Amino acid sequence: MNVAAMSLSVPLGSPLQEPLIDSRFTVPGIRCAGCIGKIERGLAAVPGIASARVNFSAKRVAVSHARTLDADEILEELRKLGFEAERAADKPLAPDDAETKRLMRALAVAGFGMMNIMLFSVSVWSGADLVTREMFHWLSALIAIPVIAYSGRPFFASALMALRYRRTNMDVPISIGVLLATGMSLYETVTGGEHAYFDGAVMLLFFLLAGRALDAMMRGRARSGIAALLGRMGRGAQVVQDGGAARYVEAERLAPGMVMLVAAGEALAADGEIVEGRTSIDASMLTGESEARPAQSGDIVHAGMINLGNPVRVRITAAAQDTAIADIARLMDEAGQSRSRYVRVADRAARLYAPAVHTLAFLSFCGWMLAGAGVYHALTIATAVLIITCPCALGLAVPAAQVVAAGALMKRGLLIKDGSALERLAEADEVLLDKTGTLTLGEPRPANLKALGPRWRAIALGLAQASRHPLSRGLARALREDGTEPASIEGISETAGTGMSGRIDGVDVALLRPEAETAGLAVDLLVGGFRTRIAFADPLRPDVRETLAALNAQGLRAAIASGDRVEAVGVVARDLGLFAAAGMTPADKLALLERRAAMGRKVLMVGDGLNDGPALAGAHVSIAPGGASDVSQQAADAVFVGAALMPVALAVRVGRATMRVVRQNFAVAVVYNVLAVPLAIAGFVTPLVAALAMSGSSLLVVGNSLRLARAAEACGGKGAV
Amino acid sequence: MTILGFLIPLALAMGLAGLYFFFWASRTGQFEDLDGAANRILIDEDGEG
């Protein structure tokens, strides 16, 4: 490993005197125990790093290091170890995480209460009577009341909120049922009655909390994965001061008139005009154009573009809220609002369910009153109806299936943000694909590696891995995937705008920009006196054809919508046999989606660039690749990592399988109600029957959902990776 | 029946102890990396994993 280039004041091995700071990085490539060992040992050996701890589940590394070492240098070290990494958000606990933890605590308390109360209930059911029964009822009440007060809060709060806005949701019948059952049971206990429903009420809370916790966990897991992938855009720039020195200024603080220094490989943080230097600019994030275009003094460049060539000076003309990117963000905001009108399956079910349950309970109360039973008896039966119809199975039906499906998809490299995305994926009947970065890899890869001998490859990797230039990174990645081990090269130095040079076994080696202008992107590899040209292209993802065939087999017709030039798009479209629209602006793409939506089509949008942002937010459902811009990943419903496109087809398939299981689960819940409700109305439901029916139907639903893991596994096996 | 006077408090105490242990575990981050712990035992302490 080459750390000679770094000058650090901290001597190796000596205890660090200065205070340590913690940084977090996401490393999607952690796959095995070997990776954990390699990263932890490798990083710990770097001067300035006190310790590194890998979180395998979250694919994250927490590094405790000296202040002198900055995040970029650690990223660099990770890259040398062979892992692509990104900075993770500094706040480890997002609000979602806190919610999951709260639900888990409520679940644990409900579980504790349920088990202990069941202990007493079983004794009562098996014949304890008189003083023993009374004592057991009192003990149950003593446990149940604090447990319900603690674990029931999520439901009570949500029901109150709904009632305040004069609406009803699933939580209203739940809350009424639980509170009524507790009140009735307390009355029974005080008067020395026979039937107490404490076990039923607490068990109900336990099963429902299990559903909620599953739902929250799924959202939390995907979020942490996505937060990890963020962070590619220009977050700031080196601004030239009066004295000529440069100072780092964050993107929000940049103002028109400042002159920023943009190094090779850096993303621009503001719109501006080039005042000094010639370079080539990669605008693919912003416009979808695949080929870098030359830029020189007087040319206008925009935030989000990447400088591929030489360092340039740019006078800022628009910053922060006035940039071209900010316009796209506004467009996205408006497009995203249509999405929020989508009603989830569970809520649609609740709309029918809640009034039906209330009516049923009320009618049984009236019926028994008319039949001449006392208020107390009629109320007992109404409570039994509420308890038995409470949507245990229904509350688990959707989240259980979705969590299992999301877990299976995550193993295949697709992160789903929430359950509603799976529901919408199942409905998609058309696919619109962006070209650059979606159908293609979106980064330059060497086109003619095969022409190089093994020694040359090792030298090329040794040189390329020490640079952050996009061409070097593409070259290094391709060589690593090829199984090349880097040659150790002495005295590596990087000259901005020219390339890398060093020595190996007394021979000068270098990776240089071609002196003459070339048609496409290329670098020259020099070993001794020999020179080889490595040309770069942006290749299609390896499994594009299989993916399109798989989508087609599922009845989804694909088309291309790209911001790139007609010629570039035409080549790909003819190659793949797809309809294509080229030269589209972000607003064009959004308009196209709205036209298709007006025709009743449900479009799945797959795109990566900033220019796809509004379309991703406005589409019925959307997926972005892991290499996409922050904005696109935020806007999309799901993110897939890796070079394969197959996760897109897999997502649709698993989405449909999930909805099938959800429907089966609903059927189970309905059958259960059809059987149990007449019993309850007739007054045959004792606490024992309620407990058996409730747990039975819940277990059936959870068991049915678990089948999904096997189904997703089976159909994913031949697809991804 | 007097045995109940001993067994019921015992059952409750054990349940509460379990509950407290869960709260403690979730507070101290024992559930942060479930798959990692399973993988870590495979790491060779000396030499490249």
| pLDDT per residue as tens digits for the range A518-569 | 556 778 888 887 888 888 888 888 888 899 999 999 888 889 988 888 888 8
Interface test with A, best of B21, B33, B44 (most A CBs within 10 A): B33
Contacting residues for A361 by C-beta, under 8 A, at least 6 apart: A382, A383, A385, A386, A389
Residue A508 has pLDDT above 70, yes or no: yes
ipTM of the complex: 0.83
Residue A413 has pLDDT above 50, yes or no: yes
- Chain A hits for B39, CB-CB cut-off 8 Å, are 32-33, 36, 56
What φ, ψ does residue A367 adopt, rounded to 5°?
-60, -50
Name the architecture of domain A236-323.
Distorted Sandwich (2.70)
CB contact under 8 Å between A34 and B43, yes or no, is yes
Q: What is the pTM of this model?
A: 0.71
CB contact under 8 Å between A33 and B18, yes or no, is no
What φ, ψ does residue A600 adopt, rounded to 5°?
90, 10
| pLDDT per residue as tens digits for the range A312-339 | 888 888 876 677 766 776 676 666 665 5
Q: What is the C-alpha R_g of chain B?
A: 19
- In Å, how far is B48's CA from the nearest CA of chain A? 7
Question: Do residues A209 and A699 touch, judged by C-beta distance below 8 A?
Answer: no
Tell me if chain B has a CB within 8 Å of the CB of A105: yes
Name the architecture of domain A414-442+541-649.
3-Layer(aba) Sandwich (3.40)
Nearest CA in chain A to B30: A55
Count Cβ–Cβ pairs < 8 Å, chain A vs chain B: 59
- Chain B hits for A61, CB-CB cut-off 8 Å, are none
Tell me if chain A has a CB within 8 Å of the CB of B25: no
- In Å, how far is B8's CA from the nearest CA of chain A? 9
A665-702 residues labelled b (16+ CB within 10 A) or e (exposed): bbebbeebbeebbebbbebebebbbbbebbbebbebbb
What CATH number belongs to A20-91?
3.30.70.100
Q: Which of A97, A171, A215, A434 is catalytic?
A: A434
What φ, ψ does residue A20 adopt, rounded to 5°?
-95, 150
Q: How far is CA A156 from CA A162, A173, A355, in A?
A: 10, 10, 18
Nearest to B26 among A34, A55, A105 (CB): A105
Tell me if chain B has a CB within 8 Å of the CB of A104: yes
Question: Do residues A651 and A638 touch, judged by C-beta distance below 8 A?
Answer: yes
CB contact under 8 Å between A116 and B15, yes or no, is yes
- Chain B hits for A32, CB-CB cut-off 8 Å, are 39
Instruction: Note if A434 is an active site residue.
Output: yes
Q: Pick from A404, A478, A433: which is nearest to A655 by CA? A: A404
What CATH number belongs to A445-537?
3.40.1110.10
- Among the listed ranges A6-15, A293-302, A387-396, A400-409, which one has the minimum average pLDDT value? A6-15
CB contact under 8 Å between A36 and B11, yes or no, is no
Residue A714 has pLDDT above 80, yes or no: no
A313-345 residues labelled b (16+ CB within 10 A) or e (exposed): bbbbbbbbeebbbeebbebbeebbeebeeeeeb
Nearest CA in chain B to A115: B15
- Chain B hits for A105, CB-CB cut-off 8 Å, are 23, 26
Residue A53 has pLDDT above 80, yes or no: yes
**Sequence spans of domains, chain A:** 20-91, 95-226+343-403+655-717, 236-323, 414-442+541-649, 445-537
Question: Do residues A648 and A623 touch, judged by C-beta distance below 8 A?
Answer: yes
Residues, chain B, total?
49
- Distance, CA of A138 to CA of A129 (rounded, Å): 13
* pLDDT (0 to 100) of residue A437: 81
- Chain B hits for A33, CB-CB cut-off 8 Å, are 39-43, 49
Phi-psi region of A433 (alpha: psi -120 to 50; beta: other; left: phi over 0): beta
Q: Kindly report the CA angle at A362 between A361 and A363, in degrees rounded to 5?
A: 95
Q: Pick from A234, A650, A345: which is nearest to A638 by CA? A: A650
